[in-house]
Structure 1
Amino acid sequence: MGMMQSGKAHIGCKRYGCCEGRARRTGLRMPHRRTSLLALMVLMLSGLSLSVPAHAACPSGFTGTAVFGIDICAGKGIAAGDLAHAAAVMTDILDFDVDGAPDNAAVVGGLAVQQAAFVVVSSERQARRFARLSGRENFTIVFDDEMVRRGTDFDPTLEEALHLVTQFGYAETYPDDFGEYAGSRIADLMDIARGGRFARVPHRYPANAVYHYDDRSCDYACQVTEFTYWAITSMRGQQQMPGRAAEIDDEWQLNSRAAITAGFPELAAFMARPAFALVP
């Protein structure tokens, strides 16, 4: 694992190396595979309901719950309210239309098959403990002191939970569309948004770029991860709180569905494909 750039590190994204100044990847890139049928078969054979949370399989010293079979774990000393908040955020991501069932059962099934987990921790040490005790590679974390449970400020919990869903859910269930590699549909759209295909962060983005993530520790796959996050949350109207557009403008310029539809209709059409069940 590379050195932490600044602040705390968020573990996730499949392999070691930084996604951004406060984010890291862990684990190894797995071969892309279509998990839909296998995932659903496993869920049916195990008797797991997609609509009723099960008890989380968290390691010793961690409390937990589950959302549609996805483990939500919290380290020692984490407030019960923080664990509940993490679970609520994951529920909102997976059941965006609020009908009590996951919007995309294939993606949720894939996450369950891969034993994906979302973990609330208070320190990097606690995150490493989770990795060691659980033996898992497919997880992302959020630090408890970063969570925004009240007010109008943006809540980083959404970003880290969504990274889990896109990296280990959508990218694996729809590798041709959401794979985190050059040539997937989402990567091609990202290249358009960046004004070209750049294996590494350029010194300066073209003037027509609307996505210009500039952390040089973030490799191409990491750039796809972040772009997917911006696209989904903007299409869902989750980047429109007061002052948010100006706050994120140096990285992402299309912070709403209307802005994407007007400025990048190809991306809007892709995200709205019914098969993905990402936006209503």
Structure 2
Amino acid sequence: MSSKKQQEKYLRMTLNERIQHFFLLTSFITLVITGFALKFPEALWVRGLFNLFGENAFELRGDVHRIAAVIMVAVSFYHIFYVILSQRGRKFIIDMWFRKQDLTDLNNAFRYYIGKTKVRPKFGRFSYIEKAEYWAVAWGTIVMGATGGVLWFENTFLPVISNSGMDIATAIHYYEAILASLAIFVWHFYFVIYNPDVYPMNKAWFKGYLTREEMEHEHPLELEEIEKEQAKETKKENIRKEDTGKKDIKKKDIKKEEKKPAPEEIKIEKDKKEDKGNNNIPAEEINPKKDAGK
């Protein structure tokens, strides 16, 4: 049974979504490394990187940081268009939106973790944890993008917001970077890598699928919805086949009726045969009295 559950697969992330995730992941990690390298140039790991890339390492760091920022902003805009223009994207954002049920799930999960109940809360497509992660990334991207743009084009914004404004933008950018890093490397990485339920890794981010066993454990309510939809589709398909079969039988009956001669045609054909038979009878047999008179 377990092997069968491992073989059944359910789509979690399409190729499009996995590519988005890949660029978001790589650009974020690049931004973290190159950003903190500027803030902590004397750190051992930073000095190691600078020694590795030589005397132009500091300038290279800035270029790489800006390129990664452009990639992240581009992916973010693409994602916005994706959730607006595609049917799956619209369904994604609807399922990702917070509901009252999330508060209930949070309370039930807390009671489950402290041993107040043995019933594990059931989640749909996205749990309150995944929703919090998603909207935290959305918020962080907006804040980091806005403040990063101000710092990048300092000469443009400095006359507008003054030195105080630049200092505020720098502080926000720095502390939001710390918060975002902790959210990803502690919060997100725990739930997709170190969590005993998914260790060594939730593979949906690069394979795109979850097994039935994983769905039953992580997203049982979504699995129920999928199976209901599959049952409906199966029922519709069976009805369609039945209707097609009935139509085929009806067509065959109509063809048989068309081939079957009408009663008038049968009578005419019978008369023709009788006339033909009379023509073949000798004249003596037709007029026996005349022969007798002779």
Calculate the TM-score normalised by the size of structure 1. Answer: 0.23
Larger radius of gyration: 2
More helix by share: 2
Greater RCO (CA < 8 Å, at least 6 residues apart): 2
Calculate the TM-score normalised by the size of structure 2. Answer: 0.22
